[in-house]
Amino acid sequence: MIDISERAQTYFRKLLAEQGGPGWGIRLRARDGGTLKGDCELSFCEPAEITGDEWVLQCEGFNVFVDGASVPWLDGAALDYLPTGTGQALSVRAPRLRGETDAAQASLAQRVNRVIEDLINPQLAQHSGRVSLLEVGSDGSVVLAFGGGCQGCGQVDLTLRDGIERTLREQVPEITAVRDATEHAKGENPYYAAHAHGESALR
């Protein structure tokens, strides 16, 4: 069930009256449901866009159409139109949106792995790289290994400090340190490359 407050319904009616057409409603969908990137999207919904697999919420004067695939992530959500410091804004609370492993009982390793898979590796994949969790110490320290294009990359220290460590600490505050245990000299783009005479030089 999704709860839409009277304030939110009034706000939607105003939007539809100003910008909508006959029979228009509001579409609600989950983007990246079940991941830490999970977010809610709201948009106008024209009658021709209704496919029949939506979950229909009947409000006074209009309907809200919830995409069928989004229902598991949005069940239990609450929509309200609340005052802010500069006026009012729509608020959407969806406790299931980002999945069950957000729960406090999830182990530290599970939570770190989830951040890596949902937030970090999709970014590294743009550069043909990846990172994996090797160990979580009893003191909250995290040990990682880089692979792909990140193994041996000259920017890996910057990536670790300003990107990965910052993201991990933001999402999992219990982390005390993040360390790299990668053998970078064996990577696809290593720091050191052998010259024709056998010596090594910093690239």
- Total number of residues shown for the chain: 203
Between residues 42 and 197, the one the model is more confident about: 42
Least confident of 18-27, 93-102, 122-131: 93-102
- CATH number for position 179: 3.30.300.130
Q: What is the pLDDT of residue 50?
A: 94
Residues 118 and 50 occupy one common structural domain: no
**Same domain (yes/no): 72, 136:** no
Domain assignment present for 163: yes
Mean pLDDT, rounded, for 142-165? 83
State which residues form the domain around 69. 3-98
Picking from 98, 132, 166, the residue at the C-terminal end of a domain is 98
201 confidence band (pLDDT: 50, 70, 90): very low
- Is residue 15 located within the same domain as residue 75? yes
- Asked if 59 and 31 sit in the same domain, the reply is yes
Confidence band (pLDDT; 50, 70, 90) for 154? confident
* Model confidence at 126: pLDDT above 80: yes
Of 122, 119, 143, give the one whose Cα is nearest residue 132.
Answer: 143
The answer to the question of residue 130 being in a domain is yes
pLDDT of 102 over the 80 cut? no
Query: Do the domain assignments include residue 47?
Result: yes
Do 47 and 128 share a structural domain? no
Q: Is residue 199 part of a domain?
A: no
Instruction: Average the pLDDT over 32-59 and give the result.
Output: 92
pLDDT, mean over the chain: 84
Of 98, 113, 147, which marks where a domain is finished?
98
Strands across the sheet containing 62-66? 39-45, 25-31, 62-66, 55-59
Using pLDDT thresholds of 50, 70 and 90, give the confidence band for residue 186.
low
Q: Which long-range contacts (CB under 8 A, 24 or more apart) does 181-185 make?
A: 181/134, 181/143, 181/144, 181/145, 182/144, 182/145, 182/146, 182/147, 182/150, 182/151, 182/156, 183/151, 184/146, 184/151, 184/152, 184/153, 184/156, 185/152
Is the model's pLDDT at 134 over the cut of 80?
Answer: yes
What pLDDT was estimated at residue 62? Answer: 97
Are residues 64 and 16 part of one domain? yes
What is the number of domains present in the chain? Answer: 2
In a shared domain, residues 82 and 119: no
CATH number at residue 17: 2.60.300.12
> With a threshold of 0.75, does the pTM exceed it?
no
Considering the domain architecture, whether residues 108 and 170 belong to the same structural domain is answered as yes
Give the per-residue pLDDT at 114. 87
What integer pLDDT is reported at residue 127 of this predicted model? 80
pLDDT at 100: 61
Examine the domain organization and report whether 112 and 76 are in the same domain. no
In which band, very low, low, confident or very high, does the pLDDT at 185 lie, cut at 50, 70 and 90? Answer: low
Same domain, 44 and 78: yes
Whether 192 shows a pLDDT value over 60: the answer reads: no
